[in-house]
Structure 1
Amino acid sequence: MGITLTKGQQISLEKSDGGKLSVVRMGLGWQAAPRKGFLARLTAKEIDLDASAVLFAGREPVDVVFFQHLVSDDGSVRHTGDNLVGGAGQGGDDESILVDLGRLPVHVDQIVFTVNSFTGQTFAEVENAFCRLIDENTGQELARYTLSGGGAYTAQIMAKVHRAGAGWNMSAIGEPANGRTFQDLLPVIASHL
Protein backbone atom coordinates (compact mmCIF):
# COMPACT_ATOMS: atom_id res chain seq x y z
CA MET A 1 0.00 0.00 0.00
CA GLY A 2 1.38 3.39 -0.97
CA ILE A 3 1.49 6.63 0.94
CA THR A 4 -1.16 9.23 0.20
CA LEU A 5 0.76 12.48 -0.05
CA THR A 6 -0.47 15.91 0.88
CA LYS A 7 0.71 19.10 -0.78
CA GLY A 8 4.33 19.75 0.15
CA GLN A 9 4.95 16.28 1.63
CA GLN A 10 8.15 14.43 0.67
CA ILE A 11 9.03 10.72 0.80
CA SER A 12 12.18 8.72 0.14
CA LEU A 13 12.03 6.35 -2.81
CA GLU A 14 14.04 3.62 -1.11
CA LYS A 15 12.45 0.19 -1.00
CA SER A 16 11.27 -1.10 2.37
CA ASP A 17 14.15 -3.63 2.32
CA GLY A 18 16.66 -0.78 1.94
CA GLY A 19 17.26 -1.43 -1.77
CA LYS A 20 17.10 1.21 -4.46
CA LEU A 21 14.30 1.60 -6.97
CA SER A 22 15.38 1.16 -10.55
CA VAL A 23 12.33 2.02 -12.68
CA VAL A 24 9.33 4.07 -11.55
CA ARG A 25 6.15 4.97 -13.38
CA MET A 26 4.22 8.19 -12.86
CA GLY A 27 0.59 7.46 -13.61
CA LEU A 28 -2.07 10.09 -14.23
CA GLY A 29 -5.79 9.43 -14.12
CA TRP A 30 -8.90 11.61 -14.44
CA GLN A 31 -12.53 11.78 -15.44
CA ALA A 32 -14.72 14.54 -16.80
CA ALA A 33 -17.01 15.81 -14.06
CA PRO A 34 -20.69 15.02 -14.70
CA ARG A 35 -22.51 17.90 -16.35
CA LYS A 36 -25.86 19.04 -14.97
CA GLY A 37 -28.80 19.86 -17.18
CA PHE A 38 -29.84 18.60 -20.58
CA LEU A 39 -28.07 21.30 -22.64
CA ALA A 40 -24.89 21.05 -20.59
CA ARG A 41 -24.68 17.32 -21.29
CA LEU A 42 -25.29 17.87 -25.01
CA THR A 43 -22.55 20.47 -25.32
CA ALA A 44 -19.97 18.71 -23.09
CA LYS A 45 -16.56 18.18 -24.66
CA GLU A 46 -14.03 15.49 -23.83
CA ILE A 47 -11.22 16.62 -21.54
CA ASP A 48 -7.67 16.05 -22.77
CA LEU A 49 -5.25 16.24 -19.86
CA ASP A 50 -1.59 15.79 -20.70
CA ALA A 51 1.16 14.46 -18.46
CA SER A 52 4.66 15.81 -18.99
CA ALA A 53 8.04 15.23 -17.32
CA VAL A 54 10.54 18.07 -17.45
CA LEU A 55 14.13 17.01 -16.69
CA PHE A 56 16.37 19.55 -14.97
CA ALA A 57 20.08 19.92 -14.35
CA GLY A 58 20.08 22.38 -11.48
CA ARG A 59 17.61 25.06 -12.49
CA GLU A 60 17.98 24.51 -16.26
CA PRO A 61 15.53 22.36 -18.24
CA VAL A 62 17.58 19.90 -20.31
CA ASP A 63 14.88 17.63 -21.79
CA VAL A 64 11.15 17.00 -21.69
CA VAL A 65 8.91 14.03 -22.29
CA PHE A 66 5.33 14.73 -23.37
CA PHE A 67 2.80 13.74 -26.04
CA GLN A 68 4.90 15.19 -28.89
CA HIS A 69 8.28 13.90 -27.60
CA LEU A 70 7.57 10.46 -26.13
CA VAL A 71 11.15 9.46 -25.26
CA SER A 72 13.90 11.54 -23.65
CA ASP A 73 16.97 12.11 -25.79
CA ASP A 74 18.97 9.59 -23.70
CA GLY A 75 16.12 7.04 -23.59
CA SER A 76 15.80 6.99 -19.77
CA VAL A 77 12.30 8.53 -19.66
CA ARG A 78 9.39 7.30 -21.80
CA HIS A 79 5.77 8.46 -22.18
CA THR A 80 3.42 5.57 -23.00
CA GLY A 81 1.11 7.66 -25.19
CA ASP A 82 -1.48 10.41 -25.27
CA ASN A 83 -4.99 9.78 -23.92
CA LEU A 84 -7.37 12.36 -25.36
CA VAL A 85 -10.46 11.71 -23.20
CA GLY A 86 -9.56 10.43 -19.72
CA GLY A 87 -10.91 7.50 -17.81
CA ALA A 88 -14.22 5.86 -17.47
CA GLY A 89 -13.92 5.71 -13.69
CA GLN A 90 -12.04 2.45 -13.19
CA GLY A 91 -9.25 4.23 -11.30
CA GLY A 92 -6.48 3.14 -13.66
CA ASP A 93 -3.82 5.32 -15.25
CA ASP A 94 -4.88 7.22 -18.35
CA GLU A 95 -1.34 8.36 -19.14
CA SER A 96 1.97 7.06 -17.80
CA ILE A 97 5.58 8.15 -17.85
CA LEU A 98 8.29 5.56 -17.12
CA VAL A 99 11.58 6.71 -15.56
CA ASP A 100 14.63 4.44 -15.49
CA LEU A 101 16.44 6.05 -12.56
CA GLY A 102 19.65 4.14 -13.22
CA ARG A 103 19.87 5.36 -16.82
CA LEU A 104 19.27 9.04 -16.07
CA PRO A 105 22.35 11.11 -16.90
CA VAL A 106 24.25 12.16 -13.76
CA HIS A 107 23.63 15.85 -14.47
CA VAL A 108 19.83 15.37 -14.30
CA ASP A 109 18.95 15.95 -10.66
CA GLN A 110 15.21 16.70 -10.81
CA ILE A 111 12.20 15.58 -12.83
CA VAL A 112 9.07 17.68 -12.48
CA PHE A 113 5.74 16.12 -13.47
CA THR A 114 3.04 18.43 -14.77
CA VAL A 115 -0.55 18.04 -15.91
CA ASN A 116 -2.27 20.48 -18.22
CA SER A 117 -5.61 20.70 -19.96
CA PHE A 118 -4.68 20.84 -23.63
CA THR A 119 -8.32 21.49 -24.59
CA GLY A 120 -8.50 24.42 -22.16
CA GLN A 121 -11.17 23.21 -19.74
CA THR A 122 -10.51 24.10 -16.12
CA PHE A 123 -10.00 21.61 -13.33
CA ALA A 124 -13.50 22.51 -12.14
CA GLU A 125 -14.61 20.28 -15.03
CA VAL A 126 -12.38 17.38 -13.92
CA GLU A 127 -12.92 14.88 -11.13
CA ASN A 128 -11.05 11.93 -9.65
CA ALA A 129 -7.71 13.28 -10.91
CA PHE A 130 -4.59 11.77 -9.38
CA CYS A 131 -0.88 11.34 -9.86
CA ARG A 132 0.79 8.21 -8.50
CA LEU A 133 4.26 6.73 -8.43
CA ILE A 134 4.67 2.98 -8.93
CA ASP A 135 7.67 0.65 -8.63
CA GLU A 136 7.54 -0.63 -12.20
CA ASN A 137 9.35 -3.86 -11.33
CA THR A 138 6.86 -4.97 -8.66
CA GLY A 139 3.74 -2.97 -9.58
CA GLN A 140 3.59 -1.64 -6.01
CA GLU A 141 2.13 1.85 -5.64
CA LEU A 142 4.63 3.93 -3.67
CA ALA A 143 2.81 7.22 -3.38
CA ARG A 144 -0.35 8.93 -4.59
CA TYR A 145 -1.26 12.59 -4.79
CA THR A 146 -4.94 13.35 -5.40
CA LEU A 147 -5.95 16.55 -7.12
CA SER A 148 -8.85 17.94 -5.15
CA GLY A 149 -10.86 21.09 -5.12
CA GLY A 150 -11.22 21.69 -8.86
CA GLY A 151 -10.59 25.32 -9.59
CA ALA A 152 -10.46 27.86 -12.38
CA TYR A 153 -7.02 26.86 -13.59
CA THR A 154 -5.95 24.65 -16.50
CA ALA A 155 -2.76 23.04 -15.19
CA GLN A 156 -1.02 21.73 -12.13
CA ILE A 157 2.59 21.15 -11.15
CA MET A 158 1.93 17.74 -9.58
CA ALA A 159 5.17 16.40 -8.13
CA LYS A 160 8.91 16.13 -8.53
CA VAL A 161 11.39 13.31 -8.17
CA HIS A 162 14.81 14.59 -7.14
CA ARG A 163 18.20 13.22 -6.21
CA ALA A 164 18.91 12.91 -2.48
CA GLY A 165 22.46 11.68 -1.98
CA ALA A 166 22.72 8.29 -3.68
CA GLY A 167 18.93 7.86 -3.83
CA TRP A 168 15.80 9.69 -4.89
CA ASN A 169 12.92 11.47 -3.13
CA MET A 170 9.45 12.37 -4.34
CA SER A 171 7.78 15.62 -3.30
CA ALA A 172 4.10 16.39 -3.83
CA ILE A 173 3.82 19.95 -5.15
CA GLY A 174 0.16 20.43 -6.10
CA GLU A 175 0.61 23.96 -7.44
CA PRO A 176 -2.25 25.20 -9.63
CA ALA A 177 -1.28 27.09 -12.78
CA ASN A 178 -2.59 28.04 -16.19
CA GLY A 179 -1.33 26.80 -19.52
CA ARG A 180 -2.04 24.36 -22.33
CA THR A 181 1.49 22.87 -22.49
CA PHE A 182 4.50 22.34 -20.23
CA GLN A 183 6.22 25.39 -21.81
CA ASP A 184 3.52 27.64 -20.34
CA LEU A 185 4.30 26.21 -16.90
CA LEU A 186 8.09 26.75 -16.78
CA PRO A 187 7.88 30.03 -14.79
CA VAL A 188 5.75 28.29 -12.11
CA ILE A 189 8.01 25.22 -12.09
CA ALA A 190 11.05 27.42 -11.46
CA SER A 191 9.80 28.30 -7.97
CA HIS A 192 9.84 24.59 -7.01
CA LEU A 193 13.41 23.75 -8.03
Structure 2
Amino acid sequence: MAVSLQKGQKISLSKEAGGDLTQVKLGLGWDVAQAPQDKKGGFLGKLFGGGSGGDSIDLDASCIMFDSNKQPVDAIWFSQLKSKDGSIVHTGDNRTGDGDGDDEVINVDLSKVPANVVSLVFTVNSFTGQTFETVENAFCRIVNANNNTEVARYNLSSQGTHTAMIMAKVYRHNNEWKMHAIGETATGRTFHDLMPAITPHA
Protein backbone atom coordinates (compact mmCIF):
# COMPACT_ATOMS: atom_id res chain seq x y z
CA MET A 1 0.00 0.00 0.00
CA ALA A 2 1.32 3.43 -0.94
CA VAL A 3 2.56 5.83 1.70
CA SER A 4 0.41 8.93 2.12
CA LEU A 5 2.88 11.75 2.59
CA GLN A 6 2.48 14.82 4.75
CA LYS A 7 4.02 18.17 3.86
CA GLY A 8 7.72 18.12 4.67
CA GLN A 9 7.86 14.33 5.05
CA LYS A 10 10.78 12.41 3.56
CA ILE A 11 10.79 8.73 2.64
CA SER A 12 13.12 6.17 1.10
CA LEU A 13 11.65 5.12 -2.23
CA SER A 14 13.45 1.78 -2.33
CA LYS A 15 12.35 0.93 1.22
CA GLU A 16 8.72 1.73 0.48
CA ALA A 17 8.88 -0.18 -2.82
CA GLY A 18 10.42 -3.22 -1.14
CA GLY A 19 13.53 -3.17 -3.30
CA ASP A 20 15.60 -1.12 -5.70
CA LEU A 21 13.62 1.28 -7.82
CA THR A 22 14.97 2.08 -11.26
CA GLN A 23 11.97 3.05 -13.38
CA VAL A 24 9.50 5.42 -11.76
CA LYS A 25 6.62 7.54 -12.97
CA LEU A 26 5.75 10.78 -11.28
CA GLY A 27 2.07 11.41 -11.87
CA LEU A 28 0.51 14.80 -11.23
CA GLY A 29 -3.20 15.46 -11.18
CA TRP A 30 -5.81 18.07 -10.35
CA ASP A 31 -9.54 18.51 -10.38
CA VAL A 32 -11.23 21.67 -11.51
CA ALA A 33 -12.93 23.36 -8.59
CA GLN A 34 -16.68 23.34 -8.91
CA ALA A 35 -18.52 26.62 -8.56
CA PRO A 36 -22.11 26.10 -7.35
CA GLN A 37 -23.51 27.31 -10.68
CA ASP A 38 -21.08 25.19 -12.70
CA LYS A 39 -22.76 21.96 -13.75
CA LYS A 40 -20.28 21.03 -16.47
CA GLY A 41 -17.94 19.33 -14.04
CA GLY A 42 -15.06 17.23 -15.15
CA PHE A 43 -11.40 16.75 -14.42
CA LEU A 44 -8.68 19.03 -15.64
CA GLY A 45 -8.00 16.65 -18.49
CA LYS A 46 -11.44 17.39 -19.93
CA LEU A 47 -10.57 21.05 -20.12
CA PHE A 48 -7.33 20.65 -22.03
CA GLY A 49 -8.09 21.99 -25.46
CA GLY A 50 -11.75 22.09 -24.51
CA GLY A 51 -14.12 23.88 -22.22
CA SER A 52 -16.06 26.93 -23.20
CA GLY A 53 -14.29 30.18 -23.83
CA GLY A 54 -12.30 31.34 -20.83
CA ASP A 55 -13.06 28.23 -18.80
CA SER A 56 -10.07 26.25 -20.04
CA ILE A 57 -7.09 26.02 -17.75
CA ASP A 58 -3.72 24.63 -18.72
CA LEU A 59 -1.60 23.39 -15.84
CA ASP A 60 1.86 22.15 -16.72
CA ALA A 61 4.19 19.83 -14.85
CA SER A 62 7.95 20.38 -14.99
CA CYS A 63 11.05 18.67 -13.60
CA ILE A 64 14.28 20.56 -12.92
CA MET A 65 17.52 18.62 -12.43
CA PHE A 66 20.05 20.07 -9.97
CA ASP A 67 23.68 19.36 -9.11
CA SER A 68 25.22 19.42 -5.62
CA ASN A 69 25.78 23.18 -5.86
CA LYS A 70 22.04 23.74 -6.40
CA GLN A 71 22.74 24.73 -9.98
CA PRO A 72 20.20 23.64 -12.61
CA VAL A 73 21.58 21.03 -15.00
CA ASP A 74 18.53 20.51 -17.21
CA ALA A 75 14.77 21.02 -17.23
CA ILE A 76 11.97 18.87 -18.60
CA TRP A 77 8.76 20.72 -19.44
CA PHE A 78 6.31 21.17 -22.30
CA SER A 79 8.94 22.86 -24.50
CA GLN A 80 11.52 20.11 -23.82
CA LEU A 81 9.84 16.80 -23.15
CA LYS A 82 13.05 14.82 -22.71
CA SER A 83 16.18 15.50 -20.70
CA LYS A 84 19.36 15.87 -22.74
CA ASP A 85 20.74 12.68 -21.19
CA GLY A 86 17.52 10.78 -21.92
CA SER A 87 16.85 9.70 -18.33
CA ILE A 88 13.64 11.74 -17.90
CA VAL A 89 10.72 11.90 -20.33
CA HIS A 90 7.58 14.02 -20.00
CA THR A 91 4.54 12.46 -21.67
CA GLY A 92 3.18 15.89 -22.60
CA ASP A 93 -0.09 17.68 -21.99
CA ASN A 94 -3.12 15.52 -21.30
CA ARG A 95 -5.60 16.51 -23.98
CA THR A 96 -7.49 13.23 -24.16
CA GLY A 97 -10.29 14.11 -21.77
CA ASP A 98 -9.50 11.17 -19.49
CA GLY A 99 -11.09 11.65 -16.10
CA ASP A 100 -9.56 9.83 -13.17
CA GLY A 101 -5.85 9.45 -12.67
CA ASP A 102 -2.81 11.43 -13.66
CA ASP A 103 -3.21 14.53 -15.80
CA GLU A 104 0.48 14.63 -16.64
CA VAL A 105 3.19 12.02 -16.18
CA ILE A 106 6.97 12.36 -16.04
CA ASN A 107 8.90 9.10 -16.47
CA VAL A 108 12.25 8.84 -14.71
CA ASP A 109 14.90 6.16 -15.21
CA LEU A 110 16.78 6.61 -11.93
CA SER A 111 19.54 4.29 -13.12
CA LYS A 112 20.33 6.68 -15.98
CA VAL A 113 20.22 9.98 -14.10
CA PRO A 114 23.78 11.37 -14.41
CA ALA A 115 25.95 11.08 -11.31
CA ASN A 116 26.32 14.85 -11.04
CA VAL A 117 22.56 15.25 -10.64
CA VAL A 118 21.59 14.99 -6.98
CA SER A 119 17.98 16.17 -7.00
CA LEU A 120 14.91 16.39 -9.21
CA VAL A 121 12.36 19.06 -8.27
CA PHE A 122 8.82 18.72 -9.65
CA THR A 123 6.59 21.75 -10.13
CA VAL A 124 3.18 22.64 -11.54
CA ASN A 125 2.35 25.97 -13.18
CA SER A 126 -0.84 27.55 -14.43
CA PHE A 127 0.33 28.48 -17.92
CA THR A 128 -2.97 30.18 -18.68
CA GLY A 129 -2.60 32.33 -15.58
CA GLN A 130 -5.59 31.22 -13.52
CA THR A 131 -4.92 30.95 -9.80
CA PHE A 132 -5.24 27.69 -7.89
CA GLU A 133 -8.61 28.90 -6.64
CA THR A 134 -9.85 27.09 -9.76
CA VAL A 135 -8.08 23.87 -8.73
CA GLU A 136 -8.75 21.30 -6.03
CA ASN A 137 -7.60 17.82 -5.09
CA ALA A 138 -4.09 18.36 -6.43
CA PHE A 139 -1.75 15.40 -5.92
CA CYS A 140 1.54 13.96 -6.99
CA ARG A 141 2.43 10.30 -6.76
CA ILE A 142 5.38 8.05 -7.39
CA VAL A 143 4.65 4.82 -9.23
CA ASN A 144 7.02 1.89 -9.65
CA ALA A 145 6.94 1.61 -13.44
CA ASN A 146 8.23 -1.96 -13.36
CA ASN A 147 5.02 -3.30 -11.81
CA ASN A 148 2.78 -0.20 -11.98
CA THR A 149 2.28 -0.08 -8.21
CA GLU A 150 1.96 3.22 -6.38
CA VAL A 151 4.80 3.79 -3.92
CA ALA A 152 3.87 7.15 -2.44
CA ARG A 153 1.18 9.80 -2.83
CA TYR A 154 1.13 13.39 -1.69
CA ASN A 155 -2.29 15.04 -1.61
CA LEU A 156 -2.20 18.81 -1.60
CA SER A 157 -4.62 21.37 -0.32
CA SER A 158 -3.69 23.74 -3.09
CA GLN A 159 -6.50 26.25 -3.44
CA GLY A 160 -5.37 29.86 -3.20
CA THR A 161 -4.29 32.92 -5.16
CA HIS A 162 -0.98 31.36 -6.27
CA THR A 163 -0.42 30.24 -9.86
CA ALA A 164 2.19 27.54 -9.23
CA MET A 165 3.31 24.93 -6.74
CA ILE A 166 6.62 23.30 -5.94
CA MET A 167 5.27 19.79 -5.44
CA ALA A 168 8.06 17.44 -4.44
CA LYS A 169 11.71 16.54 -4.72
CA VAL A 170 13.33 13.19 -5.50
CA TYR A 171 16.96 13.20 -4.38
CA ARG A 172 20.00 11.07 -3.72
CA HIS A 173 21.02 10.40 -0.13
CA ASN A 174 23.57 7.79 0.95
CA ASN A 175 23.40 6.03 -2.42
CA GLU A 176 19.63 5.72 -2.46
CA TRP A 177 16.76 7.80 -3.80
CA LYS A 178 14.38 9.52 -1.43
CA MET A 179 11.30 11.66 -1.86
CA HIS A 180 10.56 14.90 -0.03
CA ALA A 181 7.01 16.28 -0.07
CA ILE A 182 7.38 20.07 -0.45
CA GLY A 183 4.00 21.59 -1.31
CA GLU A 184 5.16 25.23 -1.39
CA THR A 185 3.07 27.76 -3.29
CA ALA A 186 4.62 30.13 -5.82
CA THR A 187 3.76 32.42 -8.70
CA GLY A 188 4.66 32.02 -12.37
CA ARG A 189 3.50 30.75 -15.75
CA THR A 190 6.53 28.50 -16.34
CA PHE A 191 9.24 27.00 -14.17
CA HIS A 192 11.59 29.81 -15.23
CA ASP A 193 9.52 32.22 -13.14
CA LEU A 194 9.82 29.90 -10.14
CA MET A 195 13.57 29.42 -10.03
CA PRO A 196 14.16 31.80 -7.08
CA ALA A 197 11.56 29.82 -5.12
CA ILE A 198 12.68 26.40 -6.36
CA THR A 199 16.44 26.70 -5.78
CA PRO A 200 16.32 26.72 -1.94
CA HIS A 201 14.55 23.34 -2.10
CA ALA A 202 17.10 21.82 -4.46
Note whether the superposition's TM-score is higher than 0.5. Answer: yes
Per the alignment, residue 69 of structure 1 pairs with: 80
Query: Residue 67 of structure 1: CA displacement?
Result: 0.8
TM-score (norm 2): 0.87
Per the alignment, residue 194 of structure 2 pairs with: 185
Per the alignment, residue 142 of structure 1 pairs with: 151
Per the alignment, residue 116 of structure 1 pairs with: 125
Structure 2 unaligned segments of length 5 or more: list them. Answer: 42-51
Query: Residue 20 of structure 1: CA displacement?
Result: 1.1
2:135/2:158 contact within 8 Å kept: no
Cα pair distance change 1:158/1:125, threshold 3 Å:
same
Query: Residue 84 of structure 1: CA displacement?
Result: 5.5
CA–CA separation in structure 1 for the residues paired with 2:59 and 2:158? 17
TM-score (norm 1): 0.91
1:71 maps to amino acid = K
Structure 1 unaligned segments of length 5 or more: list them. Answer: none
Structure 1 stretch displaced more, 29-38 or 131-140: 29-38
**C-alpha RMSD of the superposition:** 2.1
Match status 1:56 vs 2:66: yes
Q: Deviations over 1:77-135 (max 9, x none)?
A: 000111259763x2x11100001000011000000000011111111111121111111
Pick from 84, 95, 102: which aligns with 2:111? 102
1:163 maps to amino acid = R
Pick from 72, 75, 89: which aligns with 1:78? 89
CA–CA separation in structure 1 for the residues paired with 2:134 and 2:96? 13
Cα pair distance change 1:186/1:71, threshold 3 Å:
same
CA–CA separation in structure 2 for the residues paired with 1:118 and 1:110? 24
List structure 1 runs of 4+ shifted beyond 2 angstroms. 15-19, 35-38, 41-44, 83-88
Query: Residue 188 of structure 1: CA displacement?
Result: 0.5
1:188 maps to amino acid = A
CA–CA separation in structure 1 for the residues paired with 2:156 and 2:74? 26
1:19 maps to amino acid = G
2:168/2:180 contact within 8 Å kept: yes
Query: Residue 191 of structure 1: CA displacement?
Result: 1.6
Aligned length: 190
Identity between Structure 1 and Structure 2 (%)? 53
CA–CA separation in structure 2 for the residues paired with 1:98 and 1:35? 34
CA–CA separation in structure 2 for the residues paired with 1:174 and 1:147? 7
